[in-house]
Amino acid sequence: MIELEGLTKRFGTHAAVDGLTLTVAPGEIFGFLGPNGAGKTTTVKMITGLLKPTAGTVRVAGFDVASRTLEAKRAMGLVPDEPFVYPKLTGTEYLRFIGELYGVALPDMRRRIPELLELFELTPRGGELVESYSHGMRQKLVLAGILLHEPKVLVLDEPMVGLDPKSGRLVKDIFKRLAARGTTIFMCTHVLEIAEKLCDRLGIMIEGRLVACGTVAELRERAQTTGSDLEGIFLSLTGGAEYSALLRYL
């Protein structure tokens, strides 16, 4: 479970996130949408303890991230917007490293690391240095890393970027299965089709504020559009008129 209460982050006078209050229940896949610079990544960084909020609280799996940081982090898995990992480790060594950081038992690592490498089709490259991996392979390695320690909460910032269609499908199926087992998933994405098909609820953020939150049907009602897909709803809520003007200009 993720609970955000009045979460605020200011950089100087600019409020990147402004009083965000939100709860994501266990087993729920929550899609976090918004235009570039809306404050999505800042929110992700505050949830995962990479940034300190200016105000407000974050609770993950019942632990306050500010006061019970280690317990909260142990319960969480992060896929950042850019999958930078140690270039001089092999894929297998990276997973072993992550396993030890998160306290995965050695027998479990011995069993699960080969399984995860196989799942993401990384087995033939598991013994090579990460510096030789493509962007997509690194993304898959990071995903394998978070699945290794079986967190109760997954925080994903653009998890599909760089993945080939087959891997993308695999990852979507994995998320659905994890959610069915009670894992909370908080996902930032720009791919509206994925958000629409995968997420139970969606939040739309603009200039640091959550302007809409609910199921697709609820958002459609809010946007007062009928029969429109998520793209239409999104544009309607985030400034579709400007988009049309831009198209006319082009």
Return residues touching another protein (CB under 8 A): 48-52, 69-71, 73-74, 76, 78, 80, 82, 84-86, 88-90, 92-93, 96-98, 100-103, 106, 127-129, 131-132
Shortest distance in whole angstroms from residue 208 CB to another protein: 16
Strand pairing class (153-157; 184-188): parallel
Q: From the CA atom positions of the chain, what is the Rg in Å?
A: 19
Smallest gap from Cβ 9 to another protein, in A, equals: 9
Q: With respect to another protein, which residue has the nearer C-beta, 3 or 93?
A: 93
Q: Which amino acid is at 40?
A: K
Q: What is the torsional sign of CA 35, 157, 133, 50?
A: positive
Q: Least distance from C-beta 73 to another protein, angstroms?
A: 4
Q: How near is the Cβ of 122 to another protein at its closest, in Å? A: 13
CB of 86 to another protein, least distance (A): 5
CA distance 118 to 34: 34
Handedness of CA 169, 171, 172, 176 (dihedral sign): positive
Task: Please identify, using beta-carbon distances, which residue of 101 and 245 lies nearer to another protein.
Answer: 101
HSE-CB for 153 with a 13 A CA cutoff: 26
Helix spans in 156-229 (H): 165-180, 192-198, 216-223
Q: Give the pairing type, strands 153-157 and 14-24.
A: unpaired
Compare residues 113 and 195 and give the one whose CB is closer to another protein: 113
Name the residue nearer to another protein (CB basis): 208 or 223. Answer: 208
> Between residues 98 and 212, which has the closer beta carbon with respect to another protein?
98
Please give the angle made by the CA atoms of 122, 128 and 129, to the nearest 5 degrees: 115
Supply the minimum distance, in Å, between the C-beta of residue 45 and another protein: 8
CA distance 112 to 110: 6
Tell me whether residue 34 or residue 80 sits nearer to another protein (CB atom).
80
**Toward another protein, which CB reaches closer, 89 or 211?**
89
Bridge partners, 33 (sequence order): 204
Q: State the first-to-last Cα distance of the chain, in angstroms, to the nearest integer.
A: 45
> How many other C-beta atoms are found inside a 10 Å radius of the C-beta of residue 110?
11
Least Å distance, CB 11 to another protein, is: 9
